[in-house]
Structures are given as structure tokens and as C-alpha cells.
Amino acid sequence: MSSDQRRRNERRVLAATCFAHCMTHLYMLVFPALVTPLRAEFGLSLGEALELSFAGYLLYGLGSLPAGIIADRWRARWMLALGLGLSGTGAVLAGLSQSPLMLVVALGVLGIGASIYHPTGMALISRAFHDRRGRALGLNGVFGNIGLASAPFVTGLLTSMFGWRWAYLVLGVPGLVGGLWVAMTRIDESVVEPASAGSDHPGPAESKHLKRYFMVLCVAMMLAGLAYRSGSLVMPSYFELKASFLVPTASALVDALGGTGAKTAAATALTSLVYATGIVGQIIGGRVADSRELRLSYLFFHLAAIPPVVAMMWLAEVPLLMAAMLYILFGLGMQPIENSLIAKLTPPAWRSTAYGLKFVLAFGVGALAVGLVGQIEQRAGLSAVFGSIGALELGLVLVATLLWLLSRRRFPRISNA
């Protein structure tokens, strides 16, 4: 493949994966923005409402490993298209749901579809980009954060105007149409990654050690998934409880549009603003991944996330918003670094499987946050959830430190540079 052909192929890969990444995260953050109207419609407690999402989030995680295994043996493009199509179908079914059970089934279909993206998309990028990998992963992460940031706001707006069912119905359309577009996009998947990416890249003879280090990284990714899901589940509800400064503005806008639910609209808008900060984090993380030692960078980002998330326990109004934005900056900004580490610690032949394992741990175990958050809220209140996230981040720092200590002698430097 010539240099020009390779660059064109890289652009196609980024276009398909960035769109799919955006839609995947958008779909998975629609539900938290609907917790309040769902509680009102079905007469549920917070814990009972959150439980409606458990199957969907569990399948979102568990589906990643078989999706990764299949993607290592089948065309990734078709897998991306299938994932988008299933996600869009699940969203439409959720919008048509007339009972909690129907909603659980629909969210399960959505979760299976969404589970396909990460092992497929991450591996496709890591194979297609031999240089500038960190920036490519960072740009892809930016689009994931666009999905994260837009989901609460768009969902809140559609819900205030037309009701929660229309939020799912409208958002299901881009997934269905996008699936067809990705299926028709020409992507050369025959690109073979070089056996060595530089002197800092662990070679085949070190496979035994690679497996050990990758397993340590898996523990970190499991904790990160639990922390991420815990925060995403309660963020809109927490802003609705403790940040009312945007309600007058939201009330004027909602009244002008003839809708209702200004408090929910304000909370979801603040949540969107918080996740928009993750876009900056992804850009910074991508650049760091291409220029710095990956293990130490990973450690630093998790260490920096602890103070703001713990502070969220006591803050309210604008200071709460600032702390949440700072936490997300580091909590999501570490992802290009983490995904680069996976690429460095695994051989290309089973890269999709490795990413699939990551997301089983991150999102499958993360689904346990549904029950965990409900228990914590019931016993100690919503504020305590952020204390538990701080404890998880501290555990991440310890595991990241262990990874550095175990591997630094054999691999003094691991980086994309």
C-alpha cells in the first residue's frame, strides 16, 4: 500500500470509527438522563429505576469479548455496521416500550449492539495507525466524548418537549442510517502492523511477561469501568439535587418552547457541559500518549482525578460543576493512554480480543455499579457515591504503580514516541 493510499484508508477508518464511537456513548448515556421521568411514570424508587438498566449495561460489557473474538476473524467494517444497526433498533424498541419489562428487553438489545464498537473500533485504529496512534485514539476519544456530552442535553431537550419515549425514537434513527453508511464504506483491513514499533516495543520473546503486565492492566481497567459507570449513572440526578443555578434560564427556554421539566433540563445540560470537558481531556491524553512514558502518564492522570471527585461530596452549585469538569478531564483524558498501553502489551493478531477483554472488565464489571450505587444512595445519600469513586481511583493509582514497578526493569520505557 502506498503512502497516499494508507492515508486515505486512515481517514476512512477514522470517519467510521469516530461516528460509531460517538453513537455508542450517546446511546449508553440516554438512560441516566431519563431516570427522573421514568420514576414518575412507573412509580419507582431511584434504586428500582436504575435496575431497569442493569441488563443493558451488563450486556454492553459482556458482549465485548465475543465481539472482539469475531472481529479478529471477520471484517471489522461489518461488525461496526452491525453494532450501529442493533443499537439503533434497541433505541427504537425502548421508545416503543409500554412497561418496565419491555424497556429492560429493549435496553438489552441496545447494550448488545453498543458492545460491538470498542473491541472492533479500537483494534481497527491501532492496526491502521503505525505512527500518530495516540493522536488517532485521542481524536476517536473526542467523538466518544461528543456522544457523552450531547446525550444528556439532547435527551433532556427531547424529553421536555415530547416525552421520554420520543428521546429514544428520535435517537434511534442515526444508528440505523449510520449502520448502512459504514457497511458501504470502503476500508482496507489487510494492513499488517509491523512486528516491532521501535526499541521500546516489547518483542515476541517477551510474550510471557507481556501477559503478566496486561493482566495487571486489566485490574486497573476493571476499577476504572466501575468508577466511570458509577459517576455516569448519578451525575444528572446529583446536579438536579445540588446545582440549581441554571434552572431559571432553563425554565425560560423550556417555557418558550412549550415544554415542561425545567429542573431536569438544567441538570442534563450541566451534565453535558461536564462531559464536554472530556473532549479536551482526550486531546491532551492523545498528545501525552504520543510523547510521554505511557505507564507514568496513566498513573498521573488517575492520581489527578482523586481530589476533584472527592470534593464533589461537599460542593454545590458552580463549585460542584467545576470539580466535576476537572474530574472528567482526567478521568476520561486517560483513555488514549490506556488504549495505547493495550496496543503495546498485546500482539496484533489478537488485538480485537484484547480490547474485547478490556471492555468486558470495564463495562461488564461496571454494570455492578447499578446495584452498588443504589445501595450507597439508600444508606448514605448520593454524595457518598462520589466518595466511593474516589476510593476506586485510589485503587487505580495503586495498581498503576504496581504495573510500573513490575515492568520498569525489563522495559525502561514504553511509549508511542
Given a cut of 70, whether residue 189 has pLDDT beyond it is no
pTM of the predicted structure, to 2 decimals:
0.74
String of DSSP letters for 67-88: HHHHHTTS-HHHHHHHHHHHHH
Residue 338 sits at φ, ψ, to 5 deg, of -60, -45
What is the reported pLDDT for 384? Answer: 92
Output the pLDDT for position 94: 93
Burial, 198: exposed, middle or buried (Cβ in 10 Å; 0-12, 13-18, 19+)?
exposed
Choices 3.30.1390.20, 1.10.10.10, 3.40.50.300, 1.20.1250.20: CATH for 3-187+205-407: 1.20.1250.20
Angle between helix axes 133-162 and 335-345 (nearest 10 degrees) is 130
Asked whether 160 and 258 are in contact (CB, 8 A), the reply is no
Would you say 249 and 266 are in contact if contact means Cβ atoms under 8 Å apart?
Answer: yes
Greatest mean pLDDT range, 49-53, 299-303, 403-407: 299-303
Q: Are 34 and 41 in contact (CB under 8 A)?
A: no
Place of cell 488517575: 302
Residue 201 has pLDDT above 50, yes or no: no
248 Cβ partners below 8 Å, 6+ apart?
Answer: none
Distance CA 47, CA 140 (A): 33
Across 17-21, 78-82, 157-161, 189-193, least confident range: 189-193
Is the separation of the CB atoms in 371 and 302 below 8 Å? no
- How many percent of the chain have pLDDT more than 90? 30
Cβ count within 10 A of residue 242:
17
| 416 DSSP assignment | -
Name the nearest CA neighbour of 153 among 275, 317, 321: 275
Among 57-61, 78-82, 312-316, 381-385, which stretch is predicted with the lowest mean pLDDT?
Answer: 57-61
How confident is the model at residue 358, as a pLDDT? 83
Please state, rounded to an integer, the average pLDDT across all residues of the chain: 83
- What average pLDDT score do residues 224-248 get? 83
For the chain, give every domain's residue range: 3-187+205-407
| Least confident among 31-35, 228-232, 364-368 | 364-368
**pLDDT tens, residue by residue, 375-405:** 888 888 889 999 999 999 999 999 999 999 9
Residue 127, H or E segment:
helix 117-128
Residue 140 CA to residue 153 CA, distance in Å, equals 21
Q: pLDDT digits over 95-121, tens only?
A: 998 889 999 999 999 999 999 998 888
Q: pLDDT (tens digit, 9 = 90+) per residue, 133-177?
A: 677 877 888 898 888 788 888 888 888 788 889 999 999 999 999
- Write down the pLDDT at residue 190: 63
Question: Residue 75 and residue 190: Cα distance in Å, rounded?
Answer: 10
What are the DSSP calls for 335-391, one per residue?
A: HHHHHHHHHHHS-GGGHHHHHHHHHIIIIIGGGGHHHHHHHHHHHH-THHHHHHHHH
CA distance linking residue 223 with residue 151, whole number of Å:
24
In 126-284 the beta strands, taken as DSSP E runs, fall at: none
Dihedral sign for Cα 371, 398, 235, 147, please.
Answer: negative
Largest CA distance in the chain: 67
Cβ burial 307-321 (10 Å sphere, 16+ → b, else e): ebbbbbbebbeeebb
